[in-house]
């Protein structure tokens, strides 16, 4: 095998300041990739990994970011040298994302995922739809429309990374109610119900606390199996190539509560 087979490539390794992540970052650097060493809290650990890679003649930079936050993921990719567009419907959330910084390679757009900007056709190498940003619409054909939009904005050969709940796993471990206390002593309770025909999960949340006022809120989300999502992708010209248990190296299983799918535009 060519030991520098990744020369000229950039690798973004999340959670790379220690453990397996650090090991992967060093291995990718040894194979020639320029590595973005992402860390959530441990700057010291990340700096050490970067120094080790540089000491062996490799290229690496450390970038802070919590990968559970959209703005941090967008930022991470922009700092890695990618050209990033972030889109959301919520002006409020976009404002928070912009606070983390914008630039010539990082832009945010307010928009509806059912109708992405027309000028975005065939523009992207990758589309990331992460942390349950899908299944919000009353009409399921809108979810299919979203997938078709993702396909439209991808270049041929581009990939969609889809991450969210897996209906099989959520059903396998279904909890109709639970409650917990947060660090500020607020009690939060969830009651859940599921309609198997529409696939809609309804979550009634209520909270009472010393710090915050009491309140109630209802969320609804349509859950998909990997099978159905793969069919919807297929209808839009996207072929699912890989299915994972989430952000880890386990394959998707019957009991995976979340899933990460990688689909390629044919
Ligand atoms: C559960 S959040 C996940 C957000 C983000 N991926 C993260 O990890 O922080 C779902 C997001 O979808 C956005 N959203 C809801 N409906 C949308 C639509 N029609 N078009 C674009 N974004 C939408 C919401 O504003 C919210 O930011």
Per-residue DSSP letters for 174-207? --SEEEEE-TT--EEEEEEEEETTTTEEEEEEEE
pTM: 0.86
Question: 178's torsion region: left (phi>0), alpha (psi -120 to 50) or beta?
Answer: beta
Closest CA to 189 of 206, 176, 172, 210: 206
217-68-90-209 Cα dihedral, nearest 10 degrees: 30
Mean per-residue pLDDT, 223-238: 98
Residue bearing the CA closest to ligand 1, atom 15: 89
- The β-bridge relationship of strands 238-244 and 258-265 is antiparallel
pLDDT for residue 1 is more than 60: no
Measured from the CB, is residue 18 less than 6 Å from ligand 1? Answer: no
State if residue 179 touches ligand 1 by the CB under 6 angstroms criterion: no
> pLDDT digit string (tens) for 165-197?
999 999 999 999 999 998 888 899 999 999 999
Given a cut of 80, whether residue 119 has pLDDT beyond it is: yes
Confidence class of residue 212 from pLDDT cuts 50, 70 and 90? low
- What are the structural domains, with CATH classification, of the chain? 1-64 (3.40.50.720), 112-266 (3.40.50.150)
pLDDT score, position 10: 87
**C-alpha 170 – ligand 1 centre gap (Å):** 20
Q: Residue 103: its pLDDT value, please?
A: 83
Please state which of the ranges 14-18, 82-86, 240-244 shows the lowest mean pLDDT.
Answer: 14-18
């Amino acid at each position: 095998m060519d030991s520098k087979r990744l020369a000229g490539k950039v690798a973004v390794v999340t959670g790379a300041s220690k453990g397996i992540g650090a090991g992967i970052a060093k291995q990718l650097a040894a194979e020639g990739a320029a590595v973005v060493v992402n860390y959530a809290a441990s700057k010291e650990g990340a700096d050490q990994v970067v120094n080790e890679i540089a000491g062996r003649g490799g290229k690496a930079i450390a970038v802070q970011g919590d990968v559970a936050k959209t703005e941090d993921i967008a930022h991470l990719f922009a700092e890695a040298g990618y050209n990033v567009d972030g889109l959301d419907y919520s002006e409020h959330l976009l404002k928070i994302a912009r606070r983390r910084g914008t630039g010539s390679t990082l832009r945010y757009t307010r928009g509806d995922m059912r109708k992405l900007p027309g000028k975005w056709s065939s523009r992207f190498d990758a589309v990331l739809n992460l942390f349950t940003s899908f299944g919000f619409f009353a009409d399921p054909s809108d979810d299919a429309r979203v997938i078709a939009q993702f396909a439209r904005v991808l270049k041929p050969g581009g990939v969609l990374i889809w991450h969210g709940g897996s209906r099989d796993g959520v059903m396998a471990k279904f909890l109709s109610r639970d409650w917990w206390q947060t660090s500020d002593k607020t009690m939060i309770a969830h009651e859940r119900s599921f309609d198997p025909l529409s696939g809609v999960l309804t979550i009634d949340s209520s909270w009472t606390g010393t710090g915050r006022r009491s309140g109630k809120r209802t969320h609804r989300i349509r859950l998909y199996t990997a099978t159905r999502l793969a069919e919807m992708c297929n209808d839009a010209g996207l072929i699912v190539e890989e299915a994972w248990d989430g952000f880890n190296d386990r394959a998707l299983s019957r009991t995976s509560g979340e899933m990460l799918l990688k689909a390629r535009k044919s």
